[in-house]
Amino acid sequence: MEVLKGLFTLMLVLVMFYLFSSKAYKGEKAMTGLAGAAVATFLVEAIYKYILGDAVGIAFAAEIGKAAGSVAGIICAILVMLKMDVEFDVAAATGAVLFGFGILPGFVAGYLLAIVYDKLKSKLNDTLKLIAILLLFVPLARFIAVLVNPVVTMALEEIGVTIVNATTMSPIFMGFVLGGIITVISTSPLSSMALTAMLSLKGIPMGIGCIACVGGAFANGMMFLKIGIKDKSKLISLMLEPLTQADLVTKNSGPLYTASFIGGGLAGIIAVLFKIKVDAPGTASSIPGFFTPFAFNDPIVVSKTLLFAIIAGILGGIISTYAYGFIKELKLKNSFQATSKNT
């Protein structure tokens, strides 16, 4: 029952995530800002505080990581507003008052005030803009964050806990499903970093996300070669960050998403088997996913996990490319038979 609840919750979140990104006012731009904030704060915190600070013992590095993690709300509000075409001085002043808040309240405040600014900017000259910043945006940003912080954070963290419980009850199944879904999202125009940051995903589910994205990158690379795109720079770009090749991903979404799901799913199982835990939300992408697990797990165990995850990703790529080739050949055969009959 707990597994079904976790699976249903995950599907519901994905639908809402997709609808917001594709249908909400400048939703995709806002999500891009959220993903950027996750990298700028959570990834820096993971590397400097947990790896170089806690594991290696460099006190100055720990201070850097702690500082980065403490300004997640500020950075998120600023980046979301900038991505939504708000002028930098308005975004900076709005974000500055959100010290002490996490990434989710920062996201909500930045998004709502970006909409307000978009409606008002045509009516504001330089003087009025300054007055609006001081008297409207600054207090409103803090008020919104205070208002939504307990509700939004609690709701999304509860969803995250449900997914964690489901993973605990049926680790192999959830490892495959969660790993596959997160990797597909990382390949799509949506953002796996934004999703996992919003859910405050931690522990084994976040570990699955990180490792799955690494394995899925190799599955994607193999599918790219099968499709016939052999440009090395494009191939490397796709594996490191699929959004850099968004046009090619969109044109070949079917085969690439299949490769992502199978390769990421198999790599997710590897993460479960090695009990990889990650307590840095928002780091589910190939590059952050490669480095972040070292901050929370034994380095030797992580190295073994990454090796087997890459092998699993390649295996997923082989399965996917074989299936793609078989289906393509079948379509050509049916097309040829239909043409012969017409002749």
**Structural domain boundaries in the chain:** 26-157, 169-342
Rounded distance, CA 260 to CA 265, Å?
Answer: 8
Residue 279: which residues within 8 A CB-CB, separation 6 or more? 50, 202, 203, 206, 296
Does 335 score more than 90 pLDDT? no
Place of tokens 């959100």: 98
pLDDT for 239 equals 78
pLDDT (tens digit per residue) in 206-257: 999 999 999 998 988 888 887 777 777 777 877 777 766 656 666 776 778 8
pLDDT for 266 equals 94
Six-digit token string for 284: 């589910």
pLDDT (tens digit per residue) in 10-43: 677 667 777 787 788 888 888 888 878 877 887 7
Six-digit token string for 335: 């097309």
What number is the average pLDDT over the span 155-182? 78
At position 306, the amino acid (one-letter code) is L
Residue 317: half-sphere exposure toward Cβ, Cα within 13 Å: 21
Instruction: Give the long-range contacts of residues 154-160, CB within 8 A, separation 24 or more.
Output: 156/104, 156/198, 156/199, 156/200, 157/199, 157/200, 159/9, 159/13, 159/199, 160/199, 160/200, 160/201, 160/202, 160/205
Does 161 score more than 80 pLDDT? no
Six-digit token string for 41: 């704060």
Share of the chain above pLDDT 90, in %: 25
pLDDT (tens digit per residue) in 268-317: 999 999 999 998 877 788 888 898 899 889 999 999 999 999 999 999 88
Give 95's pLDDT tier (boundaries 50, 70, 90): very high
Does 341 score more than 60 pLDDT? no
pLDDT for 2 equals 59
- Please list the residues that pair with 278 across neighbouring strands: 203
What number is the average pLDDT over the span 79-87? 91
pLDDT for 82 equals 94
pLDDT (tens digit per residue) in 118-144: 888 777 776 777 777 778 888 999 999
Surface-to-core class of residue 338, CB atoms within 10 Å of its CB (0-12 exposed, 13-18 middle, 19+ buried) = exposed
